[in-house]
Amino acid sequence: MLLPPLKCKRQELLKWNGWGYNDSKFIFNKKGQAEFTGKRYRLGGMVLPTFKEWMEKTFGASLDHKTTSRATLNVNDVPPSIVKEEFLQDLRATKISYSQDAEDRVFRAHGHCLHEIFILREGMFKRVPDIVVWPVCHEDVVKIVELACKHNLCIIPFGGGTSVSSALECPEEEKRTIVSLDTSQMNRILWIDEKNLTACVEAGIVGQDLENQLAESGFCTGHEPDSMEFSSLGGWVATRASGMKKTIYGNIEDMVIHIKMVTPRGIVEKNCQVPRMSTGPDIHHFIMGSEGTLGVVTEVTIKIRPVPEYQKYGSVVFPNFEQGVACLREVAKQRCAPASIRLVDNAQFQFGHALKPQVASIFTSFLDGLKKFYITKFKGFDPNILCVATLLFEGDREKVLQHEKQVYDIATKFGGLAAGEDNGQRGYMLTFVIAYLRDLGLDYYVIGESFETSVPWDRVLDLCRNVKERIVRECKEKGVQFAPLSTCRVTQTYDAGACVYFYFAFNYRGISDPIHVYEQIERAAREEILANGGSLSHHHGVGKLRKRWMKESISDVGLGMLRSVKEYVDPNNIFGNKNLL
């Protein structure tokens, strides 16, 4: 066995059966107070005095009712690695690192869907990769794909492992050797072109490393998905990703100049790196969103921008969600949206408030009380109805301040009140720690998940209301004994519509098969989204989780077109993850 470099051992840094870093998690301390461990995030080491009460009130959960999950992986539970010696001999000749170790294989057998994490906590996947390989460059990927074609193997590309669409799960019926092609060692910026503001980057680099390395030269991509600490550039391309600051920097399809991809038929790439071409349908759009079904993205040329000289956070409180949505619509209509503008409904506002850390200073506590009094008593906002928008402005200082005034002036017309920079910054930073909460919930019989859609402006309110009501109704019909959390936020705005992001969670005590019940409810919620004019997905992708609706989403003929591309590029289904089609 050619042992992989130490940094390939993701399990030494990241949780094997939960989200994020090993040293970062929500816990209840000996006093029964919630706190967040570690020092990686601003919330680290802080006590959250009201979170326990919120959790008990919202879910009927209790610290007395605790579940147990396996602390370590039992390698004896892992399906054996079945790899023919002829392939191993050929692989050794390439000098490419590989592993058949059970931990390495299980770590790359899943993404972060609820059912995947639940399985890891309580059981084991029926099928996992047989071998993990670590190419370090484009040429290594070419060799691996050639060997897979020669030996008739199945390849599943693996980037950051943050998929929430079952895209990384191995098909149980796959009898061939499954190779997990981990791109993490392909993590270099190959060149930066300061004249054209582009950079050529290997596809395995993760978002935060890309931004940090570019920043050393004074540049950024500005692409910040919620998962940017762990997700990879290749994964962004493969799923048609979107980031929190897309208003300024665009979605991934707006940022990509050139893509190099290795397929069983050969290498796909354009002959030049230009901003636009009129040469038939854009081949990049066959690659973006292909979710590992056609080949492996190895290199991407992407637009870069100078690091903004000035950043300013902000927040606005609205009397209700309807007024907030109307404000966001007007901001989009006037095309003056800041880098990030996100509107949370009241349930999510209460949720965010429960994550507020303990204040050290009496003065700060007094100021918070004053603000609350002003908004609720003096201005008459109902704390059980109001909602909040968080804002992030970026760019030239003078322009940012002008931009800020324009947005706040619009907000005022819709009853909005400026609520300060601190709340805006806190809301933005909470994005990166909220994913850790699911693991805490699972410890106390609470299961939860997020899902998203895009929708025209005139259907935003109906869709939000109907989906949340459908979730509550379905929970009741499926025997969930406690009221669920059903909440949403508007996260990105466009000329013609918006992206809406839902959270839902419930206490599953008394339910014998909670994952089955959860999946039935999520399916019903997705049906409700489609019935209300929403899309199948805005940025999470399809994977295996949502592919049953692909025909309905893009038409029978559209699906046939995608199948034809697959059959030509990969006639022997080497990339057999069974996503999309």
DSSP-derived 3-state class of residue 164: coil
Please state, in angstroms and rounded to a whole number, the distance separating the CA atoms of residues 237 and 284.
Answer: 9
Please state, in angstroms and rounded to a whole number, the distance separating the CA atoms of residues 537 and 547.
Answer: 11
Q: Which candidate, 445, 462, 549, 452, places its Cα nearest to that of 492?
A: 452
Do the bridges between strand 178-182 and strand 131-134 make them parallel or antiparallel, or are there none, so unpaired?
parallel
Q: Is 445 a catalytic residue?
A: no
Please state, in angstroms and rounded to a whole number, the distance separating the CA atoms of residues 234 and 238.
Answer: 6
Q: Which helix (H) or strand (E) holds 341?
A: strand 340-344
Q: Name the token pair of 309.
A: 């000289």
Amino acid at 78: V
Q: Name the token pair of 88.
A: 């191993």
Catalytic residue among 98, 501, 503, 508: 501
Dihedrals φ, ψ of 266, to 5°? Answer: 135, -160
Please state, in angstroms and rounded to a whole number, the distance separating the CA atoms of residues 463 and 476.
Answer: 20
Calculate the CA dihedral of residues 463, 537, 229, 71 and round it to 10 degrees. 90
DSSP calls for 483-542: PPEEEEEEEEE-SSEEEEEEEEEEE-TT-S-HHHHHHHHHHHHHHHHHHTT--S-SSS--
Which residue in this structure is represented by tokens 């061939």?
A: 176
172 exposed, middle or buried (CB, 10 Å; 0-12, 13-18, 19+)?
Answer: exposed
Calculate the CA dihedral of residues 91, 93, 96, 102 and round it to 10 degrees. 40
Question: Is 24 in contact with 40 (CB distance < 8 Å)?
Answer: yes
Spell 334-353 as b/e; 16+ CB within 10 A means b.
eebbbbbbbbbbbbbbbbbe
Which residue in this structure is represented by tokens 């409700």?
A: 528
Q: What share of the chain is helix, strand, coil (3-state, %, to 5)?
A: 40, 20, 40
Please state, in angstroms and rounded to a whole number, the distance separating the CA atoms of residues 159 and 181.
Answer: 8
Q: Which residues contact 513 (CB under 8 A, 6 or more apart)?
A: none
| CA 128 distance to own-chain centroid | 22
Neighbours of 120 (CB within 10 A): 21
Neighbours of 459 (CB within 10 A): 16
Annotated catalytic sites, by residue? 501
